[in-house]
Amino acid sequence: MLNRVLFITLACLSLFACAEERAQVDSPDSEMSVQGSMLEITNPVIVYSSRQEYLIKPLFDRFTDETGIEVQYQTGEEGPLIARLQAEGEATFADVLYTVDAGNLWSASNRGLLASVDSASLQQNIPEHLREPLGQWFGLSVRARTIVYAKDRVNPSELSTYSALAESQWRDRLCLRTSKEVYNISLVATMIERLGEEATQNIIEGWVNNLAAPVFSSDTLVIEAIAAGQCDVGLVNSYYLGRKQVDDPDYPVALFWANQETSGTHVNISGAGITRYAKNPEGAQRLLEWLSTEEPQIMFSEMNLEIPANPTVPSAEQVAAWGEFIQDSINVEAAGRLQAAAVMLMDRADYR
């Protein structure tokens, strides 16, 4: 028993300076539903996050200013963070996992690392298709993956759907990011959910046939290739183009919302869930609920040009300039559930 206490104390001190404030090491049941509490919360909320510090620190600081609840955080890549959370098990000090892409959140949930949250506030603020059906994670900002095109070489009337980019008119005119990127895996996974594997594979094979260059390692490189005349159209997360337009309002690449006459533009999320073995679930829930409200939602949009997950909150000016669009209503959990199928399908289609 003494060795266990010593181990936990040393681990706590090495990770977080204030973790000694935690007095309990109780393990909640994996099926529990975290209930809201109006009791005063004095312990810090500890977050594992794959989001960059400059995007989350202003939010956490503002939350502390408003509530008096301190937030401590550990940042890193999503894969290692999820593996670490699993390895730590009941001994973890993490109360919240905050990461990008529903596929990553689904992976954590599927490993039994997240608890269900029963929150009327989160259910009201976050649309059903942007949250896990059992309340194990919630989208906090929206990331649309859509078509971008060269202003001087493409008339937007030529554009329509993701599947149309597989047609012969785009031969040697398409640029794509690598299939190994989770954003593309999630896009293909939701296509499988809506269209089935055979139809989706035909589309992906058409994309590969239409490539003007080998796949790129980032969305930014796709946009820059279009601007340089290497290709005419591509698929990217909208905020990557937004960053270019902030630096240069006359940037020669524009955005087109895909599938507006059919199923809606593919969307994904950044989001968070309360960990299964959270020591401060009440504080964690307060944080998630606060992040779904107007002020932090506006901060999300202004800092990274993402789209508020709360549909009552307006987007940042740069984002709003792209115009309103219809989102695909498929629940984003499909991005995780069908991730393996998407990877195998892209491999069969020779999309590398």
pLDDT at 67 over 80: yes
pLDDT at 307 over 60: yes
pLDDT at 15 over 70: no
The predicted structure's pLDDT at residue 196: 98
The predicted structure's pLDDT at residue 22: 42
Where in the chain is CATH 3.40.190.10?
A: 25-141+268-314, 143-267+325-348
pLDDT at 58 over 90: yes
pLDDT at 199 over 50: yes
The predicted structure's pLDDT at residue 39: 55
pLDDT at 346 over 60: yes
Question: Around Cβ 314, how many Cβ atoms within 10 Å?
Answer: 12
Mean pLDDT over each residue of the chain, to the nearest integer? 91
pLDDT at 169 over 90: yes
Question: What band does 145 get if pLDDT is binned at 50, 70 and 90?
Answer: very high
The predicted structure's pLDDT at residue 28: 38
Percent pLDDT > 70 in the chain is 89
Query: Helix, strand, or coil here: 111?
Result: coil
pLDDT at 37 over 80: no
Condensed to tens digits (0 to 9), the pLDDT of residues 103-141 reads: 999 999 999 999 999 999 999 999 999 999 999 999 999
The predicted structure's pLDDT at residue 42: 79
Question: What band does 17 get if pLDDT is binned at 50, 70 and 90?
Answer: very low
Q: Are strands 71-75 and 45-49 parallel, antiparallel or unpaired?
A: parallel
Question: What band does 91 get if pLDDT is binned at 50, 70 and 90?
Answer: very high
CATH of domain 25-141+268-314: 3.40.190.10
Helix (H) or strand (E) segment spanning residue 216: none
**Distance from C-alpha of 182 to C-alpha of 190, rounded to nearest angstrom:** 12
Rounded to an integer, the average pLDDT of 1-6 is: 39
Superfamily of domain 143-267+325-348: Periplasmic binding protein-like II (3.40.190.10)
The predicted structure's pLDDT at residue 163: 98
pLDDT at 319 over 50: yes
Contact 48, 81 (CB under 8 A): yes
**Distance from C-alpha of 69 to C-alpha of 190, rounded to nearest angstrom:** 38
Rounded to an integer, the average pLDDT of 13-33 is: 39
Condensed to tens digits (0 to 9), the pLDDT of residues 222-259 reads: 999 999 999 999 999 999 999 999 999 999 999 999 99
Nearest alpha-carbon partner for 29 in 116, 133, 132, 140: 116
The predicted structure's pLDDT at residue 6: 39
Residue 309: phi and psi, rounded to 5, are: -75, -30
Nearest alpha-carbon partner for 265 in 204, 195, 206, 327: 327
Rounded to an integer, the average pLDDT of 311-317 is: 97
The predicted structure's pLDDT at residue 10: 39
**Distance from C-alpha of 210 to C-alpha of 167, rounded to nearest angstrom:** 8
Q: What are the C-alpha distances in Å from 267 to residues 125, 128, 350?
A: 17, 13, 24
Residue 273: phi and psi, rounded to 5, are: -145, 160
Condensed to tens digits (0 to 9), the pLDDT of residues 44-57 reads: 999 999 999 999 99
